[in-house]
Chain A
Amino acid sequence: MEIPYTVQPRPDTGIYNAKVGIWLFLASEVMLFGGLFSGYVLLRVGADQWPHGWLDVRFGTLNTIILALSAITTLLAWAACKVGHFGKFKFFHACTLLLALSFLSVKMYEYHDKWIHYEIKLADGTFADGHLVEKSADFDLAQKTGTVTLHGRIVKDETLLYDLRSQKNIELKEVTVNASDIVKMENYGPWHNTFLAIYFTLTGLHALHILGGSIVIGYLWGPGSKMWKKDPERFTNRIEVSGLFWHFVDLVWIFLFPVLYLT
């Protein structure tokens, strides 16, 4: 038994099955990210203060370029299949995979940067804020022993930590505080505030999509490419369908970048 229209388009709809499938799937993905984006809007509208300039626009731009390039290589890989150049296909999708890897590396670096960034509320009402340099060997928050050193600054008012974009030339230096002076110490994880919560959730889910897409493309590039010999047309369809998914994931980033980095 054979399912019709798995390879050739159905004449009256003009489309083959998997392509219908992927478009429907992408429609549901739009709703998934749409749900999270509307969450973002509601949280931001209701927030007392919303951080500005917490993310490094340079990394965001770099990642935008990386994904834009990968969109091009994905398209070229499909076109190569269409005209029967298997070698070129291999080359272009190898590029796609490398670009995906670079994207994830940059993202990991950014996550790490937030992970080691601490805000410390001090007993005198001021705040120490910056990247962790070191904790002394006997540092223990509960026992109130030892010291912690940050590369950052001390501010009198927490709101100063929120709007970084309006403050020019922020001076950063090493500050060391005693554990006994610490009221609360927290890194910039998703628990720190709703901005970071939605940032990690949105970009994390997006990164999972990148990972999933890479696995599929990697499979089609590696073991899955055997199909090219037997059924090139069907294989080309697979490249097209996975490519559509990849373009969607790129598109999500095009929304994420301004929403999280630029506003």
Chain B
Amino acid sequence: MDAIVHQFPPYRKDEAHHSQDAHDDHGHEHHDPGFWAKYIFSTDHKTIGIQYGFTALCFMLFGFFLMLMMRWQIAHPGTPVPVIGPLLEKVLGQVAAKGVISPELYNSFGAMHGTIMVFLGIVPLAFAAFGNYVVPLMIGAVDMAFPRVNMASYQAYFLGGLVMFISFFIPGGAAQAGWTSYSPLATTIPTHGQLFWIIGMVLLISSSLLGAVNFIATIIQLRAPGMTWMRLPFFVWAQFVTAFLLLLAFPPLEAAAVMQLMDNVAHTSFFLPTGLAVGGQLANISGGGSPLLWQHLFWFLGHPEVYVLILPAMGIVCEILANNTRKPIWGYKSLVYSVLTIGFLSFIVWAHHMYLTGMGTKISTFFQATTMIISIPSVIILTCLFISLWGGSIRFNTPMLFALAFLPMFGIGGLTGLPLGFNVSDVHLHDTYYVIAHFHYVVAPGTIFGLFAGIYYWFPKMTGRKMNEFWGRVHFWCSLIFMNLVFMPMFAQGMAGMLRRMSDGGANYSAAVNARAGADVIGGLSDDIMSLHVWILWAAIALGIAQIPFIVNLFWSIKHGEKVGDNPWNSTTLEWQTPTPPPHGNFTHEITVYRGPYEYSVPGHATDFTPQNEPPIGSHAPQISTTVH
């Protein structure tokens, strides 16, 4: 290798300093960039992280409002939405006539709530925002490996979000076939919303591909000297695995999206079977397609995607637990190997979402087995985190409260997944509110609490100020209570047989069955079960109100929060060993790493934390080995 490198043309030698100091594209970055270059077209990973975070939070709020309107509709079917009803009618027209949400609109809201929350809210916030801001700092890098790709990734995301948003206002409205967009339904609903959905998804998928490539390359290439793999904070590991999931699981969905696009615009029949009837008429298609193909491709992404949703949150929680128990994480290696195992296994469990499609009992049995196996590493992670609490002198600050609440909430979500994973019990539970409760427990009080914890925890690094502690606690306790009041009743509803995705919450169905009751008819829903809808509605509204302290706190604290130093939580990891906020290029001196990420309360050390870059007494700096392999 050396030999070849030195055969460059002679004039290279004279100009050798070029590649030494600065490449030309980087050389001019010293003058003060203007507003656009600094905030809109920035290539700095910290700015991009904040852009991602802000956009994702806006989308999450929007998705939340969609859900509130749907909740109104199923609690009080056919009555106008209070306050915003007239506005809905004005903006959306006939589908919201008299301020009442029609079934079509309900379907749109449902599909877009899921899409927005997953693809425009949680993933960009958990993976892209936290990953961008924190990962390069944690590994001691100056920036991401490909800063301009990073910017392109955000722009593709923003554009994808815009396309999704605009689709609400086109004639026919946004996509209506659920966030899973099952064909043939998705192709036969007469709205161009589905087209917008597909194009939006292609943009979002491209965005996360660019992001995933960038993260993995950064973690492999830009670790500071001494930052070996087993010294990486667990959060970095979690993001590393997440990036691989995005990299490898999303493309098959992109393939599926291309095929659905073809079904839509080129009238192919990839997912349309022979003999398909639409509106009582035989559809004019060539047929021969396979609806199951869509489901396989979708869930091949879909299941890894749920780990994309959860792993970054686990990483955040792990950092905060270590920091606030003031002791090392119990079982760091088990955590790392578990997260890698989850990464591999999550590619072979997808068809547990399809037990009832008639794909065959042998296939079901296989996926039931893999599903049970994948819960083992999840349980190991949770157990390690629980045991880490043992014997710690715990500091109960706001980030820690959210991180602590994550554990039981994720536990409930994960454990209720097991009855869904057994195909016998799933026959009863599939497509009911039980499934809704299951995955919301993992994603809402699970992941979202993890993300809140992260925001409270890293806010001082971004701004130099802490968020208000009192209002943080108000936010926490109210969120915890109302979150559970929203989702706990859904388990009961689901087990009683209430199906999801019904725009009247099952009122018609239930009334029809109950009318024939008395004889041998079962399956109707009792008034108690139905009336839970109203409780859930008010709990959801209260949950929304509980976010106001957070939103105000977030903006207010930027200017008025308590001023703190560079390392307010006395943390060991590298992101705290920089100025606040970190400058362009992140570190003011060369960073060298000497120790693992969680050296808290080391006996004999002057403080109860030993930063990763603190040299051991009488040592010399380790270096990245200089021999070329």
Q: Known contacts A13-B220, A35-B255, A230-B18; is A194 also within 8 Å of B268 by CB?
A: yes
CB-CB contacts of B288-328 with A at 8 A, as 1s and 0s? 11101100110010000000000000000000000000000
Of chain B, the residue at the smallest CB distance from A43 is B290
Q: How far is the CB of A89 from chain B (nearest CB, A)?
A: 12
Q: Does B217 contact A (CB under 8 A)?
A: yes
Q: A173 contacts the other chain (Cβ, under 8 Å)?
A: no
Query: Which of B189-197, B426-434, B620-628 contacts the other chain?
Result: B620-628
Partner of B142, one of A3, A24, A232, A233: A3
User: Are A232 and B297 interface neighbours, CB within 8 A?
Assistant: no
Q: Which residues of B contact A212 (CB under 8 A)?
A: none
A137: Cβ under 8 A from any B Cβ = no
Tell me the count of chain B residues lying within 8 A, CB to CB, of chain A: 68
Indicate if A231 sits at the interface (CB-CB under 8 A). yes
Within 54-108 of A, Cβ neighbours of B (below 8 Å) are at 82-84
Q: Is there contact, CB below 8 Å, between A42 and B213?
A: no
The winner among B15, B251, B296, B584 for most chain A CB atoms within 10 A is B251
B97 CB–A CB distance under 8 Å: no
Given A10-B221, A24-B217, is A234 in contact with B19 using a C-beta cutoff of 8 Å? yes
Interface residues contributed by chain A, number (CB under 8 Å): 57
A20–B221 contact, CB under 8 A?
yes
A190 close to B262 (CB less than 8 A): yes
The answer to whether A39 and B297 have CB atoms under 8 Å apart is yes
* A183: B residues at CB distance < 8 A: none
CB closest chain-B residue, reference A195: B288
Question: A67 CB to closest chain B CB, in angstroms?
Answer: 22
Contact A28 B142 (CB under 8 A): no
Given contacts A3-B145, A11-B628, A28-B209, contact A43 B270 (CB under 8 A): yes
Against B, the Cβ 8 Å flags (1 = close, 0 = not) of A185-220 are: 000011111100110110001000000000000000
Is A32 on the interface with B (CB-CB < 8 A)?
yes
Chain A residues, CB < 8 A from B584: 1
Q: Does B496 contact A (CB under 8 A)?
A: no
**Given that A20-B145, A231-B19 are known contacts, is A193 also in contact with B252, CB under 8 Å in the complex?**
no
Closest CB of chain A to B395's CB: distance in Å?
36
Given A32-B255, A205-B258, A232-B12, does the pair A197, B269 have CB atoms closer than 8 Å?
Answer: yes
CB nearest neighbor in A for B149: A21
State A1–B627 Cα separation when bound (angstroms): 25
CA distance A13 to B274 in the complex (A): 53
Can you offer 19 A-B residue contacts whose CB atoms are under 8 A? Answer: A1-B26, A1-B143, A1-B584, A3-B145, A7-B19, A10-B624, A15-B221, A16-B221, A18-B146, A20-B216, A32-B251, A35-B251, A35-B256, A39-B255, A43-B293, A191-B266, A191-B286, A192-B286, A193-B286
Task: Name the 10 nearest CB pairs between A and B, nearest first.
Answer: A35-B255, A35-B252, A197-B268, A32-B251, A31-B251, A1-B585, A191-B267, A84-B9, A20-B217, A194-B288
Residues of B within 8 A of A (CB): 1, 4-5, 7-9, 12, 15, 18-19, 21-24, 26, 29, 142-143, 145-147, 149, 209, 212-214, 216-217, 220-222, 247-256, 258-259, 262, 266-270, 274, 285-286, 288-290, 292-293, 296-297, 300, 584-585, 624-629
Beyond the given pairs A82-B4, A201-B262, 11 more chain A to chain B contacts, judged by CB atoms under 8 angstroms and listed by A's residue number, are A2-B23, A4-B222, A16-B221, A17-B217, A28-B213, A35-B253, A35-B255, A35-B256, A42-B296, A48-B288, A193-B286
